[in-house]
Amino acid sequence: MSVWSRQSPEVRQYLLVTGNYWAFTLTDGALRMLVVLHFHALGYAPMQIAALFLFYEIFGVVTNLLGGYLGARLGLNRTMNIGLGLQVLALLMLAAPTALLTIPWVMVTQALSGIAKDLNKMSAKSSIKLLVPDGQQGTLYQWVALLTGSKNALKGIGFFLGAVLLTLFGFANAVIAMAAVLALIWLASLVLLKKDLGKATAKPKFRELLSKSRAINVLSGARLFLFGARDVWFVVALPVYLSAEFGWDFWQVGGFLAAWVIGYGVVQSLAPAITGRQRGHVPDGRTALTWASALAALPALMAIGLAAAWHVPVVLLGGLMMFGAVFAVNSSLHSYLIVSYAREDGVSLDVGFYYMSNAMGRLLGTVLSGWVFQGYGLATCLWVSCLFVALAAIISSALPRHHAGAGLS
């Protein structure tokens, strides 16, 4: 009997969902780095590069809202497979001749990629709620942390992969190679992933898209500012700053961002141990408030160091590593709390609404990353980050202190 066949059906489905999520994330991270570095090398300004990702984030907002509804009606296996297929199409569109790679064309491909990413993520996170027996909150936290952390570690590897592929093979050949590999995984998923996973027993109504749970609404507000705080410096400002001010080449920029995201993913996977699960504790609103408050000081300290020109490489790179570690715990806490708060029947509706707020935060951060950096510099981006984290902490203070698991309102 093989190792695969000895696993329970729930574990096999978890491994399939996780494998799909990993494969998608690797191409998503590589594509982000390919686009930023390729178009920066072509002479695009930071705000123009940010515009390339505008549709990625806008369509992510819409997809999370509608994707939760579709997941509840069609099943999470279908929404996950649709996401994989759309990512293959987006990659192939970017393999077009250079003359066609105008800003509008690339924005359309990024719209498809944004839809694909958020369908895939919503499906993966929602599936875990259904595969862990009700009442096992510690196991749920561990599985969510493992999925989220491993995904971000792979996204970091994707950043490095994108830089390597761009250097060795050029832009068009890189996206064709990624499309071919992802297409094979998509075909396997169509065959193996369980039918009707996450399909609601009662067909959800369109008006149910907006959450009625106070806990989920509060958590969604905190998530918006938390991820805006990261992307306001990470999406455009940081890679362009490292290239322009430090004189780093593609390998160095991609390598550093890869190391940052890999470390971030490792810490996310360890979050249950860091926050006390080994002592029998699972997070609540107080935990989220504590960790958000700890994060708020870091971008302020980095901004002060940059303004004073005090050992800039040490302040910036060391500070960003510390920010990544504390941010990772915050993100993992949030990912667990939303899955815990969500209703089991129609879980994708609650998770989709929450990740809509996540996408809105990324959209806000992406736009500000290009605009603030181009007009005011990286230090100002970090001050905006500090403000956003402080707002996330204030909102987190309204989260329930002792939640009762699924269906909490």
Q: What is the CATH number of the domain that holds 354?
A: 1.20.1250.20
- Listed range (35-44, 140-149, 161-170, 218-227) with the worst mean pLDDT: 140-149
Least confident of 10-19, 20-29, 32-41, 334-343: 10-19
pLDDT (tens digit per residue) in 34-49:
988 888 888 888 778 8
SS3 171: helix
Cα 17 to Cα 10, 261, 337: the distances in Å are 11, 21, 20
Q: Which of 194-208, 243-257, 287-301, 357-371 has the lowest mean pLDDT?
A: 194-208
What's the confidence (pLDDT) of residue 404? 44
pLDDT of residue 408: 34
Q: Where are the alpha helices (DSSP H) in 213-346?
A: 214-234, 237-245, 250-274, 285-307, 312-313, 319-341
Residue 343 included in any domain: yes
Of 61-70, 76-85, 91-100, the least confident = 61-70
Angle CA 373–377–379, to nearest 5: 115
* Within-domain flag for 190: yes
pLDDT of residue 323: 95
Average pLDDT over residues 382-401: 94
Nearest to 165 by CA among 53, 254, 261, 260: 254
Domain annotation covers residue 340 = yes
Whole-angstrom distance, CA of residue 251 vs CA of residue 213: 46
> Does 360 or 138 have the greater pLDDT score?
360
pLDDT of residue 201: 59
| Residue 158 CB-half CA count within 13 A | 25
In this predicted structure, what is the pLDDT of residue 318?
93
Percent of the chain with pLDDT over 70: 87
How much is the average pLDDT of 285-296?
Answer: 91
Element (H, E) at 209: none
DSSP string covering 45-78: -HHHHHHHTHHHHHHHHHHHHHHHHHHHHH-HHH
* Residue 31 CB neighbour total at 10 angstroms: 27
- Is 2 a member of any domain? no
CA-based radius of gyration for the chain: 20
Through-space distance between the first and last CA atoms of the chain, rounded to whole angstroms: 45
Going by C-alpha positions, the residue among 33, 29, 45 that lies closest to residue 244 is 45
pLDDT at 250: 74
Query: pLDDT band for position 243 (50/70/90)?
Result: confident
How far is Cα 337 from Cα 341, in angstroms, rounded to an integer? 6
Query: Which one has a higher pLDDT value, 204 or 130?
Result: 130
The pLDDT assigned to 252 comes to: 86
pTM for the structure as a whole: 0.76
The amino acid at 271: A
**Tens-digit pLDDT profile for residues 321-371:** 999 999 999 998 988 888 888 776 667 777 778 888 888 998 899 889 889
pLDDT tens for residues 82-93?
999 999 999 999
Domain limits for position 102? 7-198+207-396
Does residue 16 lie in a domain region?
yes
> For 180-238, how does the pLDDT look when each residue is reduced to its tens digit (9 = 90+)?
999 999 998 888 877 666 565 555 565 555 666 788 889 999 999 999 999 999 878 89
pLDDT of residue 373: 92
Total domains in the fold of the chain: 1
In this prediction, residue 220 carries a pLDDT of 92
Average pLDDT of span 116-138:
75
Query: Sorting pLDDT into bands at 50, 70 and 90, what band is 405?
Result: very low
Question: What would the mean pLDDT of 301-329 be, rounded to a whole number?
Answer: 92
Query: Looking at the domain assignment, is residue 406 inside a domain?
Result: no
Q: Would 407 be classed as within a structural domain?
A: no
- Ranges 8-12, 265-269, 340-344: which has the least confidence: 8-12
Instruction: Read off the pLDDT band of 259 (50, 70, 90).
Output: confident
- Report, as an integer, the average pLDDT of 17-45: 86
Higher confidence at residue 377 or residue 206? 377
The whole-angstrom separation of Cα 225 and Cα 368 is: 13
The predicted pLDDT at position 409 comes to 30
* Domain presence at residue 115: yes
